[in-house]
Homo-oligomer: A and B are copies of this chain.
Amino acid sequence: MSAAPIEFWFEFASNYSYLSVMRIEDCAARRGVQVRWKPFLLGPIFRSFGWQTSPFVLQKAKGDYVWQDMVRQCRKYDLAWTRPSGFPRSSLLPSRVALVGAEQDWIGAYCRRVMSINFGEDREIDTNKVVTEVLTALGLPARQIIDEAQSEANKLRLRQQTETAARRGIFGAPMFFVGDDMFWGNDRLDDALDHCVQAPA
């Protein structure tokens, strides 16, 4: 009897997604849980609520808190942290590439590297140059993967994935699904994984 898989919905611009991207493969492997990577864009979802940007920008008090919290959370998980000078960062190309690689064995390493560039090194992530750098460092054919990521079919897939997120009630990131059970935020990653083991596929 095997554990249920976990669906991991994340957005490269989201600082709490950063924590989960860095942690999920190790945490899941320890419990024998398979991770299904689901990159999506939060922007269209926030706009559907009438928000033009992240609530961490729109609500100043909450934003001020979040940057305090991230310092402590990154210390707790032993992760690099630099408050991004641009937030939320555009994440379109890296998200399209993540969709291409979602079922490839390089997806975890790719996502961790993109997140580290955004939240560890405070660099932009939505450029051909950076994505090429990341893919090449992983020994992958960057040009070919980026071409596929920028194809009309893949652009449409990312829009559809984001629409699916909205339809499933996703209102923030990271979000985890175990079957129909939804768990919000890096703080629920361990609970969600425990649920995978208790509610096997």
| Chain A residues in the interface with B (C-beta under 8 A) | 49, 59, 61-62, 64-65, 68-69, 72, 76, 169-172, 181-185, 187-188, 191
A191 / chain B contacts, CB cutoff of 8 Å: 72, 76
A184 / chain B contacts, CB cutoff of 8 Å: 65, 69
Q: Is A182 within 8 A of B72, CB to CB?
A: no
State how many copies of this chain the complex holds: 2
Closest chain B CB from A43 CB (angstroms): 16
Q: Which residue of B lies closest to A180 (CB)?
A: B68
Q: Is A61 within 8 A of B171, CB to CB?
A: yes
Of B59, B72, B182, which is within 8 A of A65 by CB? B182
Of B49, B59, B181, which is within 8 A of A68 by CB? B181
Instruction: Beyond the given A65-B171, A187-B187, please list 12 additional residue pairs across the A-B interface where CB-CB is below 8 A.
Output: A59-B171, A61-B170, A61-B171, A65-B169, A65-B182, A68-B181, A68-B182, A69-B183, A69-B188, A72-B191, A76-B191, A185-B187
Closest chain B CB from A191 CB (angstroms): 7
